[in-house]
């Protein structure tokens, strides 16, 4: 049994709609997704905080290299089950409701910055990855903070406001690298780089 259904109430009152983001936000999301897609390994894939419609995974539902799609977010579209996706509706606290060494892929795209306990979640990602499995993360940098807050609080786009007003943290290499090492990943198996004009930090970590 790889997942557990959790009866935890959603944290947000409204379903987040990425399609309602301003054009710059949608472009940023597409660039993030393309970066993640290029690093996917064959096997099972868990996408944490995947969004209501799990758009990234849905774009790969015909990808024969992915043997199982696992989605976890506060609220998920029940129609995703028609694609054979495994759905877990839950707020992420410190623990992930999956067995150890389950996944070849775990992705967190623009999600880690929303968590109160990101260190524990990274440790859980390490636990639930198989040996040789890959964790891919994209987070906003401090450089992006004024740009994102301008979109949210000055332009006042509703969806950008919901997203940015929920941020708990921004990241750089000096912050994220030691967190991944503390989670159990070896420095030789870590790769970090700034993307999207240095507004985002991409991290790739392989479990030794």
What pLDDT tens digit does each residue of the chain (208 aa) get?
A: 454 433 323 333 344 556 655 666 666 777 788 889 989 999 999 999 999 999 899 989 999 999 999 999 999 999 999 999 999 999 888 899 999 999 999 999 999 999 999 999 999 999 999 999 999 999 999 999 998 898 889 988 777 888 899 999 999 999 999 999 999 999 999 999 999 999 999 999 999 9
Q: Structural domains in the chain?
A: 24-206 (3.40.50.150)
Largest CA distance in the chain: 47
Q: What pLDDT score was predicted for residue 8?
A: 29
Question: What is the model's pLDDT at position 83?
Answer: 92
The burial class, CB within 10 Å (0-12 / 13-18 / 19+), for 172 is middle
Q: Mention every residue, 6+ apart, whose C-beta is less than 8 A from residue 65.
A: 40, 41, 42, 43
Phi, psi values for residue 39, rounded to 5°: -105, 0
Name the DSSP letter for residue 35: H
Enter the tokens of residue 164: 């940015």
């Amino acid at each position: 049994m790889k997942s557990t259904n959790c009866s935890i109430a959603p944290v947000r009152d409204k379903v987040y709609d990425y399609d309602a983001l301003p054009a710059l936000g949608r472009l940023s999301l597409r660039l993030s997704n393309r970066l993640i897609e290029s690093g996917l390994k064959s096997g099972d894939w868990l996408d944490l905080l995947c969004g209501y419609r799990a758009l990234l995974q849905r774009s790969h539902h015909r990808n024969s290299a992915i043997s199982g799609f696992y989605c976890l977010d506060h609220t998920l579209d029940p129609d995703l089950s028609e694609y054979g996706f495994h759905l877990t509706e839950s707020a992420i606290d410190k623990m992930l409701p999956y067995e150890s060494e389950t996944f070849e892929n775990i992705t967190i795209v623009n999600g880690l910055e929303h968590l109160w306990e990101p260190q524990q979640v990274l440790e859980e990602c390490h636990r639930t990855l198989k040996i040789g499995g890959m964790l891919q993360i994209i987070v906003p940098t401090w450089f992006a903070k004024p740009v994102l807050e301008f979109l949210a609080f000055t332009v006042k786009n509703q969806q950008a406001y919901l997203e940015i007003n929920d941020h708990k943290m921004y990241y750089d290499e000096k912050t994220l690298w030691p967190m991944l090492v503390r989670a159990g990943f070896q420095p030789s198996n870590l790769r970090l780089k700034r993307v999207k004009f240095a507004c985002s930090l991409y991290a790739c970590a392989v479990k030794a």
